[in-house]
Amino acid sequence: MCLIVIPLQNQKHIKALVMKNFLLYSFLFLLFFSGSKNSNVMGYKPVYMSQEDAAKVVFEGPRDMKTQGKIYIKNQYVFIGDIGLGVHVIDNTNPENPQKIGFLKIYGNHDIAIKGQSLYADNLEDLVTIDISNMENPVETNRVKGLYTIEVKNYPPNVPYNTYFECVDPSKGIVVDWVEAELSNPECYTTY
């Protein structure tokens, strides 16, 4: 049996070195494995609007389709629903070269019908009538208020299970759309 004797001065130096290494590795461990409370993930953020602004029907320039709805053909025009957002208007006078001429922004819209020169559409809980005799300037001519009960969805539609999103805050208005965005510490996610 062999016994190694270390002088007292060297023992103190070794203990100090071990303690420094222990503190250094403990700090590094805590730094890398403590977990940050801030986590950014991609998800969806609601787009808010006041009830009054969402009830306005506006004809604007052409834009890209987000979620295709029903298609309706009247004379040389093709009307394509964009679910929840409105109706795309396409001039199909030349079927070889159809021209996007505009977008009828009608929030909450899911369906349209046309009779004569009138387009009928749901706008949130209202039924609106729009004169389309001049497609360069369609005009709302009538509104039947409170005809529908709208289903309030506090989550983005058509996204996969466990998709993160910013929780809806009703004090900011009604949700008219969802946009993909980087979210910081989201508390809501889809479970359907």
pLDDT tens sequence across 101-110? 999 999 999 9
Specify the pLDDT at position 60: 96
Between CA 138 and CA 130 the distance in angstroms is 6
Q: If you average pLDDT over every residue of the chain, what do you get?
A: 87
Where helices occur in 34-181 by DSSP H, the ranges are 51-54
Q: Is residue 36 very low, low, confident or very high in pLDDT (cuts 50, 70, 90)? A: low
Q: What is the pLDDT at residue 12?
A: 66
What is d(CA 108, CA 155) in angstroms, rounded to the nearest whole number? 15
Residue 153 in tokens: 């969805």
What pLDDT score does 157 carry?
84
Token look-up 């989550």 returns: 155
Q: What is the pLDDT of residue 149?
A: 86
Contact (CB, 8 A) for 150 and 136? no
As to burial, measured by CB atoms within 10 angstroms (0-12 exposed, 13-18 middle, 19+ buried), residue 177 is middle
Burial of 135 (0-12, 13-18, 19+ CB in 10 A): middle
Q: What pLDDT sits at residue 39?
A: 80
Instruction: Report pTM.
Output: 0.72
Cβ atoms of residues 43 and 160 within 8 Å: no
pLDDT digit string (tens) for 130-189? 999 999 899 999 999 999 887 777 889 888 888 999 999 999 999 988 999 999 999 999
What is the mean pLDDT of the segment spanning 38-57?
91
pLDDT reported for residue 153:
78
Query: Who has greater pLDDT, 118 or 24?
Result: 118
The region of weakest confidence among 33-37, 98-102, 169-173 is 33-37
Token couple for 50: 């006041």
Residues contacting residue 60 through CB under 8 Å, at least 6 positions apart: 102, 103, 105
Q: pLDDT value at position 91? A: 97
- Burial of 55 per CB tally in 10 Å (0-12, 13-18, 19+): buried
Coil/strand/helix, residue 30: helix
Q: Which domains does the chain have, with CATH numbers?
A: 51-144 (2.40.10), 152-189 (no CATH)
